[in-house]
Amino acid sequence: LGSIKLNFYDQMNLKTNLVSDGAFRIIRNDVEINYNKNDMNIYSKFFYKKKDNLLGFKSDRSELNFGTHYKFNKKISTNFNLTYDLNNRHAQKTELTSRYNHDCMAVDFSVSREFNHNVSINSGLLIGIKFELIGLRGSIKADKAIRCAS
């Protein structure tokens, strides 16, 4: 079991976590690289999981994830994400989300598509909207919760 995190000038960081078996072979690994500049974040993630019949993982799993997050102002932000299956060499999922934050509520608008390559069902486009009542969450500062309740 190991974990490493390196930060470079508060703009870039590298994180990795790994698990090995008794023979010191890596059976699980994830690596993440982030670049932050002002209101923008660009990231790339790699995930690897070795097959393990005892735990129900019948084959190795390896994927790449690319994405970006941009904050237009205090209230509006957007996120784009692409997940790619390295073993089967195809895209797994793409997603675009925009968020509007208000004092008492956040609204997410999203468009995503999952690519089902192993089944006979056609891949579909999913369009979503999610409302989050911020004033009811315990992790938000008390002053916001009080403004939302009044």
Question: What radius of gyration do the chain's Cα atoms show?
Answer: 19
Q: What is the pLDDT of residues 45-76, one digit of tens each?
A: 998 887 766 656 667 778 899 999 999 999 99
Residue in 99, 96, 100 with CA at minimum distance from that of residue 125: 96
What is the spatial distance between Cα 108 and Cα 97, in angstroms, rounded to a whole number?
7
pTM for the full predicted model:
0.71
CB 87 within 8 A of CB 59: yes
Q: What is the pLDDT of residues 115-131, one digit of tens each?
A: 876 665 666 788 999 99
Torsion of CA 117, 119, 122, 126, to 10 degrees: -80
